[in-house]
Structure 1
Amino acid sequence: MPLEIAEIVLWRLSDAASLVTEPMSMWVVGASYGRRSADPGCSPYGERALVDFRRPHSSSWSKGATQPALIVPMVAKQETGISLLRFRISMSLDGFVAGPNPSVQDPLGVGGEQLHEWVFPLEIWRRPHGLEGGVVNESTPVMEEEQANIGATIMGRNMFGGGPGPWDEKDPWNGWWGSTPPFHHPVFVLTHHARETVVMEGGTRFTFVTDGTESALDQARRAAGGKDVALAGGARVAQQYLKAGLVDEMQLHVVPMLLGGGARLFEGVGALRSLVLVKTAAASDVVHLKFAVGGEWQVG
């Protein structure tokens, strides 16, 4: 399988002449996959930078830093031309993505819905759900970036809902989102129970995959039409993809609360030594952390 080369690019804010003498705090760090682009807003070494360019000691990020001073190659996991698998999820400070005692009436468990209260007021969240109004804050550009270039989504049976066991043929469950789900693209649901594809209004199509995570990813990539694939959760599905080394990007929305129990995201995943923190942003009610995942890398 041909491998694409990614690059970690160390950018400086001033003249590169004092490379040896100035401390690392004078540098901003970027990472990009090696697709060529003439877009001046991106790194010249990559079409879609995984990160923008971070000014030291600040949570603000901006594009368009100065000339590159040092380029360090990193082996990217993706095959050339293959879309990325981008995982995103909200998580408590103690590492839970759902609360204890989930049920059909309370699918996120006790307290679990509070993990998402940061996003509900946002205009960018309300619009695809058919709601008017909403606020714009520090989380808005994070969500804009998260939603960009997504052509398909993968999720688990618990996130899709409908309870455990075989599907109810007399009263079929079609998801939590009503007749017009907010995805507007193909969604692949991992399940142990086969079911015919469900076509909804607005372009969403739910396909139920019973032959494993890699099959779901293969189908999603084909359906995405060259765009990336979103991995939406829940915890068990995310763990399977992380342990298999199939995730390329992970964005955690860390909410300042302690759930004390429930579904712990990294339970049984092991040490993810290949994580590279590439971007941070903070709002009053959530901190966003974006990681590049996978591939052996080292600076030097």
Structure 2
Amino acid sequence: MLKVEQVRFRYHRMPVLNGITLQVGHGELCGLFGPNGCGKTTLFKCCLGFLRPQGGRICLAGSDIRELKVREMAKLAAYVPQDHKPPFPYRVAEVVLMGRTPHLGGMFGIDRDNHKKAVKAMELLDIGEWADQPYNALSGGQRQLVLIARAIAQEARVIFLDEPTSALDFNNQVKIWGVLRSVAARGITVLACCHDPNHVSWFCDRVVVMDQSGVIADGPPARVMTQETLDRIYEGTCSVHRVGTVRMVLPSGLAGREGMDREGLYDLDAASQGIDRRRLTRRSIDGPSAADRKHVQGSLYPEIVAGRGRVSNL
């Protein structure tokens, strides 16, 4: 669905993208991961036609983006920026409805079907009650949810998201990744730039890792998000642990602190939940006991379902 071949881009004399090559398939949720300044946002802008690369080729649904008209491009690709500050107080419903713009035609305004699709997108993210609120009066995290709803309403075949959960609380972070998985399951390709190694590991089908030299790893999270890869881009500041069948990336200095067991994370939860640490032994890595699960019922402690990236409260 998205194919990037040897793309090169520089700002004046400063090279940013040096022969980037990657491919994202139909209905795939792919995480673009890497340190600040490695060119992830620049790559997005090149893929969307906002910037013109000095070399290479980018194709969407088999079409070279250089040959696509604006309306054709808008039907293929939707974009959720990292931050958006509107100058005019549009209502939330109007902002989401803007996603239908590429599909409008003629002189008869917006029909009922387009309105229904905008409403459905808001309902999917549970923001229907904001419909009549001024968009520019919302918090940054709330505006992010509205922009994701707009992208869903657009019904593009590829959605690009630049750090979609950076301004959201934990509950909405989990909700958004669940929505993105649902969108991908409908056959829409999703490419999300993200700085959280756990999020791309838990929720993405594939991860593309970049540094200043280009793409350094590409594949399933279990194969890509390794200690070796993280050491290369973060120089030993984090370490990979395992909780049951799920990998968890932690700051390197966290192990050994109060409430933290080197074998897993359940001690960390015990410290905040008041669970008797004497019940937490080396078996903690296999999961909390039935008694401890009952104790933390309803807490924000997530149970990550390996392989699918689904999250549920205990």
Query: Normalised by the size of structure 1, how large is the TM-score?
Result: 0.30
Query: Normalised by the size of structure 2, how large is the TM-score?
Result: 0.29
- Name the one with the larger helix percent: 2
- Name the one with the larger strand percent: 1
The structure with the largest alpha-carbon Rg is 2
